[in-house]
Amino acid sequence: MTERILVVRLDSDGDVLASGPAIRAAAAGRDGDPADVVLLCGPSGRQAAELLPHVQRVIEWSCPWIVASPPEVSSADIQALVHRLAGERFDVGLVLTSFHQSPLPTALLLRLAGVPEIAAISADYPGSLLDHRLRPGEDMDDDQPEPLRALQVAARAGFALPPGDDGALRVTSPPDPGDITGEEPYVVMHPGASVPARTWSPHRCASAVTALRQDGHRVVVTGSPSERELTSYVAGADGVDLGGRTPYPVLAGVLAHAEAVVVGNTGPAHLAASVGTPVVSLFAPVVPARRWAPFGVPVRLLGNQDAACAGSRATRCPIVGHPCLNSVTARDVVAAVNSLVREPRC
């Protein structure tokens, strides 16, 4: 009988994309029998979840102990979720979390929903909430890339990547974006980020677009509909402004056809990695780059990783002048792009 696996990743797009290899391992099943995988995700991870291979279905839920703007805890909401999951009759639950999150509240809900086998990483004693527990620093190295942490959870429950799967991030085949990007080669500049502490200053992004153009690169600038003013400013007269024109699958296509992507530590960095495109990572060290730098593709990491904000998980820069990123120059970006692009156009 085909096993039914519930994979839980309740935060944002980048987190969901980093869970892709573990999801493929779960879908490969145990003892050679493929499994059906359902992904429980939060609203800010839904668009990424829809692009992951081997996800049969997505259930969206806004988790009060995970999402950035959490709703009030509601017994009716909790009961509705438990009832829904119970009706699915899952055989196994894989609860995937970052190093600063506890899986135990979610594991409790899965137990109440009758999930008989649950795996997670937990520093705290789980009692009867987990069947397969990985203890950070004891059973595993917790200071490793996020996709590898998730794969270890799957492995503890008996799931491994199938033969020939290299464990890279992946999404389903994105569309050809030629109608909005044009056919000539280009570099992507993505100036926005999910939190202000991870953004390079807009005028520095604009200067980098100009410097890249002067160096012979064509640049397209991407951003959400709410970032149109930002992308217009950054693109200026030297870039192609695609702000608000790239729904997530289209953005995947734009990134897939780029020669390189210049981006902060935000979802599109992991989407670029998922489509195999090299990344110039403007990485603010508020979270560790060794855990959250784009995974599995060539990366040039820019930004002072030893700045005073390192490891703070700050959403707004606590240091005047944002020195960790504002120490990066336009010429630094050009040099990093040229080190990744096979045939620089200078």
Cα–Cα distances (Å) from 81 to 27, 76, 77, in that order, read 23, 9, 6
Cβ burial of 244 (10 Å; 0-12, 13-18, 19+) is middle
Q: Is the pLDDT of residue 53 over 60?
A: yes
Higher pLDDT, residue 145 or 309: 145
- pLDDT digit string (tens) for 264-322? 999 999 999 999 999 999 998 888 899 999 999 999 999 988 887 877 777 787 777 77
Weakest mean pLDDT among 87-101, 163-177, 317-331: 317-331
pTM of the model: 0.95
List the domains of the chain with CATH numbers: 4-156 (3.40.50.2000), 178-340 (3.40.50.2000)
CB 103 within 8 A of CB 94: no
Structure token digits, residue 90: 């899952």
Cβ burial of 283 (10 Å; 0-12, 13-18, 19+) is buried
Q: Is the pLDDT of residue 346 over 70?
A: no
Residue-level pLDDT at 31? 84
Widest pairwise Cα distance in the chain: 62
| 117 phi-psi bin (left φ>0, alpha ψ -120 to 50, beta other) | beta
Task: Provide the mean pLDDT of the chain.
Answer: 94
Q: Is the pLDDT of residue 342 over 80?
A: no
Closest to 8 measured CA to CA, from 87, 80, 77, 111: 111
Q: Is the pLDDT of residue 344 over 70?
A: no
Amino acid at 223: G
Q: How confident is the model at residue 345 (pLDDT cuts 50, 70, 90)?
A: very low
- pLDDT digit string (tens) for 119-144? 999 999 999 999 999 999 888 887 89
Read off the pLDDT of each residue in 208-215 and give the average, rounded to a whole number.
Answer: 98
Residue-level pLDDT at 308? 76
- pLDDT digit string (tens) for 219-240? 999 999 999 999 999 999 999 9
CB 34 within 8 A of CB 4: no
Distance of CA 53 to the CA centre of its chain: 15
Weakest mean pLDDT among 52-66, 270-284, 305-319, 323-337: 305-319
Report percent pLDDT > 90 for the chain: 83
Structure token digits, residue 228: 């149109």
Residue-level pLDDT at 207? 98
Closest to 339 measured CA to CA, from 184, 199, 209, 215: 215
Dist CA 126 CA 132 (whole Å): 10
